[in-house]
Amino acid sequence: MRTSTAIASLLAASSPLVSGHGDHHHHGQRDFTPAELKELQGKWGTDFGFGGISTFAHLPHHKCLTNPQTPFDIGIIGAPFDTAVSYRPGARFGPRAIRAASARQTALRGYNPRASLNPYTSWANVVDCGDIPITPFDNGLALRQMSEGYTELSTRVAIPANVASEATYLQTAKIVTLGGDHSIALPALRALNKKYGKPVAVVHFDAHLDTWHPSKYPSYWLDLEDPSTQSFFTHGNMFWMAATEGLIANGSSIHAGLRTRLSDEDDYTNDSEQGFVRISADDIDDIGTKGVISKILATVPQDYPVYLSIDIDVIDPGLAPGTGTPE
């Protein structure tokens, strides 16, 4: 049987069910009692890890950018963008892959005995906000789309009953981004700067600095006198751009996990001028995990807005070989 014939036969066989369900003129929806709704939820409201729609950790899905009334404390947003990379592309499929990989994470069995909480049910209303629609054809437009998307989400406030603090930055709904190449940090920092009106501290886990001056990517075509040029926007210098724009708190930001090669020692000088403290991957052998944590806490001010950025290449490439820039 041809595919088209099979589909037509299936539709014909199911047409009474389809039309019966959709015929609201003759069969109006009845009201359900709370007990009936509870029973339906009990029967059909739970998905196994291998079932259900692919949201992050089976969280409820809301298109947060088009539904500003949706209440949430923490929103998961995808940024499927990878046209600012210098080596392997493919990170545009990251949000979808991360959601698929999170399938075994559920609120049903999400309790962490070491932290003594279930992050999906402890206090916050956590939702999957879908993705920011981002063009793959024009990096200038993509940067604008991401910046405006983050700015829109930064206006959302946390559910008041869930936040016992008068600090403005704690009353703001928190956004967790699934990338995407690492250049997505720049539009996020621009949005945070608009939100708080001041630079924010950056805690950056990465094998690379990502503070390189554009001249470190030599090109005859690059106009170094024009900082607005689209060619400046890459996954290796977005923090340089952010520092140039005054988005990063100088002296209160830190890299951790560095094991990158350099152009020369000037790369470190340039990085220090942008206000970053550095922790190399080798340092963990000397100071241990607690030492790394202590150095981060000593660098980042308390009660200060912080942007946490994690690049997959900070992980040993034997554990994450698909990264675009393995070291």
Binding site for Mn(2+): residue ranges? 182, 206, 208, 210, 311, 313
What does the alpha-carbon distance between residue 272 and residue 236 come to, in Å, rounded to a whole number? 16
Yes or no: say if 76 and 176 are a contact pair by the CB < 8 Å rule: yes
Which tokens sit at 235?
Answer: 């996954």
What is the Cβ-side half-sphere exposure of residue 139, based on CA atoms within 13 angstroms? 17
Q: What is the DSSP track for 285-324?
A: HHHHHHHHHHHHHHHSPTTS-EEEEE-GGGS-TTT-TT-S
Neighbours of 250 (CB within 10 A): 14
Known binding-site residue numbers: 182, 206, 208, 210, 311, 313
Give residue for tokens 């981060």.
Answer: 296
Q: What three-state secondary structure class fits 184?
A: helix
Helix 139-153 to helix 185-196 angle (10° resolution) is 40
